[in-house]
Amino acid sequence: MTPGLTVGQALVQATRRLAAAGVEGASRDARWLLAWALGTPPERLTLALPEPMTSDTAARFDIAIARRVTHEPVSHITGRRLFWGREFAVDRDVLDPRPETEVLVELALAEPFERVLDLGTGTGCILVTLLAERPEAIGTGTDISAAARSHAWGNAVRHRVSDRVEILASDWFRPLDDRGIAGRFDLVVSNPPYIAAAEMAGLSRDVREHEPRLALTDEGDGLSAYRAIAAGVEKVLAPGGRVLVEIGPAQARAVAAMFRQAGLDDVAVHPDLDGRDRVVSGRG
Ligand code: GLN
């Protein structure tokens, strides 16, 4: 980056670099990274535009932009991502929390619950949010990835719910079913890997090259996690307890059919804010 620039000039230069690298939303990302480099809230950035860049800020910003040019997600560069108004620590070992997943959180919070199980908790964004919003509830998060489990724990500590949470290693319900958890949960949630192996090549470079493959795809038809959840969820649900899973927009019929076949009641499909099918729910 050219020395002696104002903040505004640095922003213009960085936006051009990102756009030239084919980064979608170049101007939004440049603003976000500049605010982060300055240590200023993004909404206050405009006030700083006429000021000179200090050499420290310029160096921080330059490195951030160089990383974004390689399509590394903004959240990996800043190390955090906002979800339901809280900051979660993220990196390449965990799925970046998505705004669509807030629909699942909203549905979960629409009814009371005391014990929640989050299958494939990743950053812990769903579980930690639910526990932070319901101070009386306790929760279990599972993940097959050790790195994810340590992220979830760290995020639980950060948001002061760690005294009400346990994080376990498991592959869906294995070996959970041996731990005496039958009938224990009045809420089971999951945002499992649902991209089909054949669809992986069509994902954006940001996602495909920088997010953990294990969190994105089942290496099959994208439905195997739902098969496992449908097969095991009745056993861990308390009578009348709810299950809510996030889905890909084309998976509603298949997942709803699996839930009905598994004997769940009140199976329903819920849209996200863009009107796409996003969550399937059922009752034990
Ligand atoms: N539960 C986490 C989330 O919703 C992780 C999901 C995943 O890794 N597939 O972001």
pLDDT of residue 175: 76
Burial class (CB in 10 A: 0-12, 13-18, 19+), 69: middle
> Which domain covers residue 100, as residue numbers?
84-283
> Do residues 56 and 169 share a domain?
no
Q: What is the mean pLDDT of the chain?
A: 95
> Do residues 156 and 97 share a domain?
yes
Domain boundary among 70, 104, 125: 70
Task: Output the residue whose Cα is nearest ligand 1's atom 4.
Answer: 191
Residues of the chain with pLDDT under 50: none
> Do residues 153 and 265 share a domain?
yes
> Do residues 123 and 247 share a domain?
yes
122 CA closest ligand 1 atom index? 5
pLDDT of residue 174: 85
122 near 148, Cβ under 8 Å?
A: yes
Does any domain span residue 79?
no
> Do residues 180 and 262 share a domain?
yes
pLDDT of residue 183: 73
State if residue 121 touches ligand 1 by the CB under 6 angstroms criterion.
yes
pLDDT of residue 69: 97
Does any domain span residue 107?
yes
State if residue 65 touches ligand 1 by the CB under 6 angstroms criterion.
no
State if residue 95 touches ligand 1 by the CB under 6 angstroms criterion.
yes
State if residue 222 touches ligand 1 by the CB under 6 angstroms criterion.
no
CA nearest to 203, candidates 248, 171, 255: 248
In testing the pocket of ligand 1, which one of 93, 121, 143, 189 has its CB within 8 Å of the most ligand atoms? Answer: 121
Domain boundary among 20, 41, 70: 70
d(C-alpha 223, C-alpha 190), whole Å:
13
Domain boundary among 70, 99, 125: 70
95 CA closest ligand 1 atom index? 8
Cis peptide leading into residue 239 (ω within 30°): no
pLDDT of residue 179: 65
Task: Output the residue whose Cα is nearest ligand 1's atom 10.
Answer: 97
Helix axes 252-261, 224-236, angle to 10 degrees: 30
* Distance between Cα 33 and ligand 1 center (Å): 24
* Distance between Cα 38 and ligand 1 center (Å): 30
* Distance between Cα 215 and ligand 1 center (Å): 7
**Overall number of domains in the chain:** 2
> Do residues 114 and 226 share a domain?
yes
Instruction: Answer yes or no: pTM beyond 0.75.
Output: yes
State if residue 123 touches ligand 1 by the CB under 6 angstroms criterion.
yes
> Do residues 215 and 186 share a domain?
yes
* pLDDT tens-digit series, residues 84-138: 999 999 999 999 999 999 999 999 999 999 999 999 999 999 999 999 999 999 9
- The upper half-sphere exposure of residue 6, i.e. CA atoms within 13 Å in the direction of its Cβ, equals 10
> Do residues 129 and 252 share a domain?
yes
